[in-house]
Structure 1
């Protein structure tokens, strides 16, 4: 039976690498997969890229108002309708109704979906897409990474121009910003130290 998988972790936990490895594993066995990501993720344009230097073009980008099930049906028709798996990177940027589409793709169309993303933003709040995936997914898997202190990282702290910030829009991608925006994966202790105890 097909399932909806949500594989989540703090930034730099290897999510894109795991997605590209999963795609390779399917294709090594002669199966067709579809790769997608939300178009709001402008980093890498239409590519999914790993910090290890591996990159691959997606089959389609998902606009904020797109019907994901219709997109999958359209692209599946282009490969004879035989889709072994749909893999989605940066799934936190999906609209909750698009996550509902993913469940319908699994249940009604029989296509497994592997969604990769982060749970929470730089203010420790769940992204709407991630919250819905946590509610609907058949399987949840945490991909782990470590904080600079060596403890397990839970949160994603935002830096603008090299300084930690704890206010601002939920989404800030460095190509979209005037100042360089970066993120650091942190444990709860280090996050609270840098935020002065704020969890927002």
Structure 2
């Protein structure tokens, strides 16, 4: 039985690296994988998954209105798909997550989603909320705060390095814009902003 997996964490836990390694493992055994990344994430270029340690791969850039089930079904008809992998899954819509459950349930293809659980204000992203509700397996990937504790929060920082309390939920960025922290140090940083 195929399942939908949600690998979640704070920033800088190696989600993209794990995704790329998983795809490599399938491909090394002669199996075909499909990689998707929301088109909104253009840090490495449109339709590209790139890890901080230098691994990268081409992926299908996914718009919010696109139907994942239809994409996978068509690709699977052309060449059997062994696994579907989604980077930055927090940016999926609820409908797209439901479509991924159909990929697993109706097509029998495992789906591995990787993304953030919460935004810089500690609020769930739409895609993450849907995955937390609908995925068969929830797996936390861990990273650490500067104090050594497990980081669970994503602090957004401005150009001056100070915490940002308000703004749009989605602002694409990497280490220059976000810092993974434990809840205590996240609260301390917000109190000093």
TM-score of the superposed pair, with normalisation by structure 1: 0.91
After TM superposition, what 4+ stretches of structure 1 lie above 4 angstroms from structure 2? none
Distance in 2, matches of 1:54 and 1:154, equals 24
Q: Secondary structure at the match of 1:116?
A: strand
Is the 8 Å Cα contact of residues 173 and 181 (structure 1) preserved in structure 2?
no
Counterpart in the other structure of 1:189? 184
Counterpart in the other structure of 2:155? 157
CA RMSD between the two structures: 1.7
Deviating more after overlay: 12-21 vs 67-76: 67-76
Counterpart in the other structure of 1:51? 52
Is the 8 Å Cα contact of residues 162 and 189 (structure 2) preserved in structure 1?
no
Counterpart in the other structure of 2:85? 87
Is the 8 Å Cα contact of residues 172 and 181 (structure 1) preserved in structure 2?
no
In the alignment, is residue 166 of structure 1 matched against residue 165 of structure 2?
yes
The alpha-carbon distance between structure 1 residues 112 and 194, as it changes in their structure 2 partners (threshold 3 A), is: same
Structure 2 spans left out of the alignment, 5+ residues: none
Distance in 1, matches of 2:172 and 2:137, equals 28
Distance in 2, matches of 1:160 and 1:123, equals 14
Counterpart in the other structure of 1:40? 40
Is the 8 Å Cα contact of residues 5 and 137 (structure 2) preserved in structure 1?
yes
Counterpart in the other structure of 1:114? 112
Distance in 2, matches of 1:76 and 1:158, equals 39
Distance in 2, matches of 1:195 and 1:174, equals 19
Structure 1 spans left out of the alignment, 5+ residues: none
The alpha-carbon distance between structure 1 residues 164 and 197, as it changes in their structure 2 partners (threshold 3 A), is: closer
Q: Secondary structure at the match of 2:184?
A: helix
CA shift, 1:28, in A, is 1.0
TM-score of the superposed pair, with normalisation by structure 2: 0.95
CA shift, 1:74, in A, is 2.7
Q: Secondary structure at the match of 1:167?
A: coil
Is the 8 Å Cα contact of residues 158 and 181 (structure 1) preserved in structure 2?
no
CA shift, 1:181, in A, is 5.6
Counterpart in the other structure of 2:61? 61
Q: Deviation digits for residues 4-38 of structure 1, max 9, x if unmatched?
A: 00000110001000000000111111111000011
Distance in 1, matches of 2:181 and 2:31, equals 38
